[in-house]
Amino acid sequence: MSNKLPPSIHAVNDMPKVSRGRGAYLYDVNGKQYIDGSGGPAVYCIGHGNEEVNAAIFQQLESVAHGYRYQFTSDALEELTEIIRARCGGTLQYMVFVTGGSEAVESCLKLALQYHYARGEPKRCKFIARERSWHGNTLGALSVSGFLERKKAFAGSLLDVVRLSPTNAFRPLPGATAETVGEVSAKELEAAILKHGAENIAAFIFEPVVGAAGGCVPAPEGYAKRVREICDRHGILMISDEVMCGAGRTGNWRALEKDGVEPDIMSIAKGLAAGYLPLGAAIYSKKVSAAFDHVPQTGHTFTGHTACCAAGVAVQKIVSREKLVERVAANEAKFKAMIADALSGIEAVGDIRGRGYFIAAEFVADRVTKKPFAAELKLFMRIRQQTFESGLICYPVGGNADGVNGDVVILAPPYNATDAELEEICGKLGKSVKQVLAQL
């Protein structure tokens, strides 16, 4: 097989032009149908073309598109705030609305800095984060990300961040096993705090289920509770980045809920408004809010954008009314089994992992040693191309093993996908992977 990739993988001009979407399907201007097996980048959680959401947006636009946050509040903003408060529970009752995940993470970092400044500890300005993590495209979010391919061009302008090993049961850090990786990773966090001085650390940020950079890697059993205890003991804030894995994607509306932990600050986006309009939020606890008297110094022109909030309200009403988060949790085992069945007999399948409707398959050159395929093969891109040609949209990512090598494919279908649609997604993935590997 040639190592030269088809031009359509690289060139935007070679991409098909989208025409319309309905439910789990998208169509290009030539009439070709694609089943959206990854919700784009894990965004479209109730599918495309929902008439109820579209009507809510239209109704809001007829009244007013946007009331600027320093001049007005709105019904949509206040209703969405109450929905999120109810969904989060506990003390996560305060929030800043933004227009995407990167802005949400950026706001989380600023909230952490403002918290310590307000408490008279301005030296607490460093962040701790993990390798093989992805937190967004703004400079602060890039700084805390551990995704070499996406950040190397900007390295000279990024924040100095304390970096930890990935926490991955399939690829545990040295000295750990799949069973002990959570505890060993927690001890690595505490060692880093002691080395750099707790008095200098603002927060530790992590994804409860690592998305793009690792391929649906869930936190090991007990890890989040140990992190919570360590952060509390050293006066460090815990930031849970749930942009990709939150808002119901992993079977709990708040992903870290499954781990029995509440963070101090949390980012959400993607599934909040399901892609109907851009929307995200930085959510923070009563403890954090009290430090600066409920007046966060973060936000943008379009913070609390009225029409975007109206979209979020409509989406979340559907998610709640149709019990879609509960559906995702109940179907997790079945969905994993469908994927495993579709990929059965493929020796290159190293691991199938994740939670809810956020599941990935990792492909390896050697299943025993877990050696990844050579990066120059760009296996994940070949799979992307083949699935797309077969009418399946999935989310392949490279470099998950060590930042350069490693190939995973993420599936993140709509929460309301039918069993037949899930079978179609898995079937097309299995067939495409077999076709690509046969050529290798």
- Cα 336 to Cα 213, 239, 434, distances in angstroms: 20, 29, 18
Mean pLDDT of 120-135: 97
pLDDT of 349 above 80: yes
Per-residue pLDDT at 162: 98
Mean pLDDT of 247-270: 98
Please tell me the least confidently modeled range out of 13-22, 84-93, 182-191, 274-283.
13-22
Partnered with residue 169 across adjacent β-strands are none
Per-residue pLDDT at 213: 94
Per-residue pLDDT at 340: 98
Amino acid at residue number 194? L
Per-residue pLDDT at 69: 87
Per-residue pLDDT at 148: 85
Are 250 and 209 in contact by the 8 Å Cβ rule? The answer is yes
Mean pLDDT of 60-72: 95
Per-residue pLDDT at 13: 59
pLDDT of 409 above 50: yes
Answering whether pTM is above 0.75, one says: yes
- Mean pLDDT in the chain? 95
- The token pair at 221 is 């059993």
Q: In order of start, what are the domains of the chain with their CATH numbers?
A: 7-49+323-439 (3.90.1150.10), 52-321 (3.40.640.10)
Q: How many CA atoms lie within 13 A of 304 on its CB side?
A: 20
Instruction: Label residue 8 by pLDDT band (50, 70, 90).
Output: very low
Percentage of residues in the chain with pLDDT exceeding 70?
97
pLDDT of 6 above 70: no
Instruction: Label residue 440 by pLDDT band (50, 70, 90).
Output: confident
- Give 187-222 pLDDT, tens digit per residue: 999 999 999 999 999 999 999 999 999 999 999 999
pLDDT of 322 above 50: yes
Among 42, 31, 32, 48, CA closest to 388: 32
pLDDT of 9 above 80: no
Mean pLDDT of 355-369: 97
How far is Cα 52 from Cα 314, in angstroms, rounded to an integer? 7
